């Protein structure tokens, strides 16, 4: 029984949280070796190697590009059939797109823009910054046995709002060698028609390096399994990547105003992602913590009974046993310090004084406030992005956004007088660093 494993632990110091937060982000050497071989093969041999791996891993006997690229007729068929087959889901998808577009449109309005200012003598020296969208982005969308339509929206919408004109998608086909009509419907709705039936490391390789008929991209975004993650790690530098995502995480900070049933439901919802997911409660009320454990036990049984085989009880129970902790401390300050140490992917604040606490949160990927803001809303519909840094990476990185599909160029424009006024200082730097050609490139402009 879960109640035999889940106990309320009093936080005495941050060492308890630090120990739980410590998790290896390394990838097994054998996986790196396998993925490295696939990437190098495709980089050197192009489509010949790509088709070999499509046959080996994707189940497609590809001999030409048309065998792995979605054709116009497939998009048209999906566009006609999916609204009839899944009317409720289509309506939900359209709502999600609307919310995501709204959120990311506000985001881009508040991101750094192109700007210039004048300085120097008579304001003849001009400095500035140009912000442009990436020219070509590659999106990896998990597929095959399990479909994640929300993953398409989270990657594609910010790319399009950022102004990326050229988007290529790779997604693994099902056992029939085809991509789900539902995914094709969403691609079509978003205006994305360059879609390839390729999964795994071979997909990342072809996006990073291209082939005879597939143009390489500037950046790759989208979640995947450990082989996809390893491939993204290996190609980084030749191409940009969004992040190296790990198992999902949720942390709840709760005071006496919180509802234990809501806390339990949100911990369970994260537990069904993966046996390595982390689910933590930090409560300043011991009764709330104890009742949350009772609710976890009750709800796991309830969901099992009502959803039968649709609920992966085995995974949830395994996760809760291994990666769920219920902490209690009367000190809200200690709970906040523990959060900033753990730097969770998802943070829920079920507290009365959330404004004060929010100001003290330094490290968290996505923050959900109040009893009626569950992580599941962010996973699907609210408009914020669900591609969020894990494994304490929220200390230095951010959720996927329009800024991931943009780049900046600095601009400098001197006239002769402005450069002459700073030439002596530049020469001093050049002399000290013994880069005399640098000095010459300044002085030559004043010899004529």
Residue 186 lies in a domain: yes
CA atoms within 13 A on the CB side of 285: 16
Nearest to 253 by CA among 322, 337, 319: 337
The pLDDT confidence band at residue 176, using thresholds 50, 70 and 90, is confident
Gap between the Cα atoms of 225 and 269, Å rounded: 20
Residue 8: both structure tokens together = 């309320």
Residue 10: both structure tokens together = 């009093």
Residues 336-361 pLDDT 10s: 999 999 999 999 999 999 999 999 99
Pair (157, 181) in one structural domain: yes
Range of the domain at 425: 415-446
Residues 220-272 pLDDT 10s: 999 888 999 999 999 999 999 998 888 899 999 999 999 999 999 999 999 99
Gap between the Cα atoms of 54 and 45, Å rounded: 14
Q: For residue 140, what are the contacts with CB-CB under 8 A and spacing of at least 6?
A: 169, 170, 171, 203, 204, 207, 220, 221, 222, 223, 224, 228
Residue 198 lies in a domain: yes
Look at the block and give the residue holding tokens 């999964």.
199
Look at the block and give the residue holding tokens 């999902």.
248
Residue 401 lies in a domain: no
Pair (221, 283) in one structural domain: no
pTM of the entire predicted model: 0.91
Residue 57 lies in a domain: yes
Asked if residues 414 and 426 have their Cβ atoms less than 8 Å apart, the reply is: no
- The answer to whether residue 57 scores a pLDDT higher than 70 is yes
Residues 286-327 pLDDT 10s: 999 999 999 999 999 999 999 999 999 999 999 999 899 999
Pair (194, 269) in one structural domain: no
The pLDDT confidence band at residue 365, using thresholds 50, 70 and 90, is very high
The pLDDT confidence band at residue 25, using thresholds 50, 70 and 90, is low
Pair (233, 284) in one structural domain: no
* Average pLDDT of the residues in 90-95: 96
Question: What is the DSSP-derived secondary structure letter of residue 69?
Answer: B
Pair (50, 150) in one structural domain: yes
Determine the pLDDT at residue 101: 97
Helix (H, G, I), strand (E, B) or coil at 128: strand
Residue 339 lies in a domain: yes
Q: How many structural domains comprise the chain?
A: 3
Pair (109, 36) in one structural domain: yes
Residue 369 lies in a domain: yes
As annotated, the active-site residues are 345-346
Q: How large is the C-alpha radius of gyration of the chain? A: 26
């Amino acid at each position: 029984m879960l109640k035999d494993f889940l106990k309320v632990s009093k936080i005495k110091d941050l060492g308890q949280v630090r120990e739980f937060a410590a998790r290896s982000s390394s990838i097994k050497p054998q996986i790196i070796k396998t993925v490295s071989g696939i990437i190098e093969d495709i980089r050197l041999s192009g489509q010949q190697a790509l088709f070999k791996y499509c046959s080996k891993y994707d189940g497609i006997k590809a001999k030409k590009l048309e065998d792995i690229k979605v054709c116009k007729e497939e998009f048209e068929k999906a566009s006609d059939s999916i609204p009839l087959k899944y009317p409720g889901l289509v309506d939900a998808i359209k709502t999600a797109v609307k919310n995501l577009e709204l959120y990311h449109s506000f985001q881009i309005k508040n991101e750094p823009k192109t700007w210039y200012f004048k300085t120097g003598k008579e304001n003849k020296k001009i400095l500035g910054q140009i912000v442009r969208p990436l020219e070509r982005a590659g999106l990896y969308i998990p597929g095959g046995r399990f479909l994640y339509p929300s993953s398409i929206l989270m990657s594609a919408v910010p790319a399009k709002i950022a102004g990326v004109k050229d988007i290529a998608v790779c997604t693994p086909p099902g056992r029939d060698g085809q991509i789900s009509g539902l995914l094709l419907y969403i691609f079509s709705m978003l205006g994305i028609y360059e879609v390839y039936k390729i999964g795994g490391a071979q997909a990342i390789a072809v996006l990073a390096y291209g082939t005879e008929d597939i143009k390489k991209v500037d950046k790759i975004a989208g979640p995947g399994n450990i082989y996809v993650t390893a491939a993204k790690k290996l190609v980084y530098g030749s191409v940009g990547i969004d992040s190296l995502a790990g198992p999902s995480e949720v942390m709840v900070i709760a005071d006496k105003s919180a509802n234990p049933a809501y806390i339990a439901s949100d911990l369970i919802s994260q537990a069904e992602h993966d046996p390595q997911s982390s689910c933590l409660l930090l409560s300043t009320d011991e009764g709330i913590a104890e009742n949350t454990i009772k609710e976890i036990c009750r709800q796991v049984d309830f969901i099992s009974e009502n959803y039968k085989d649709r609920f992966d009880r085995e995974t949830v129970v395994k996760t809760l046993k291994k990666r769920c902790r219920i902490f209690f401390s009367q000190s809200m300050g200690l709970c906040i310090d523990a959060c900033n140490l753990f730097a969770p992917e998802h943070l829920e604040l079920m507290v009365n004084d959330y404004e004060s606490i929010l100001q003290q949160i330094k490290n968290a990927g996505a923050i959900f406030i109040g009893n009626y803001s569950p992580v599941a809303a962010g996973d699907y519909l609210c408009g914020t992005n669900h591609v969020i840094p894990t494994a304490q990476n929220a200390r230095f990185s951010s959720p996927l956004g329009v800024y991931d599909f943009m780049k900046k160029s600095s601009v400098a424009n001197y006239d002769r007088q402005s450069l002459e006024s700073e030439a002596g200082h530049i020469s001093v730097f050049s002399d000290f660093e013994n880069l005399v050609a640098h000095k010459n490139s300044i002085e030559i402009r004043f010899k004529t």
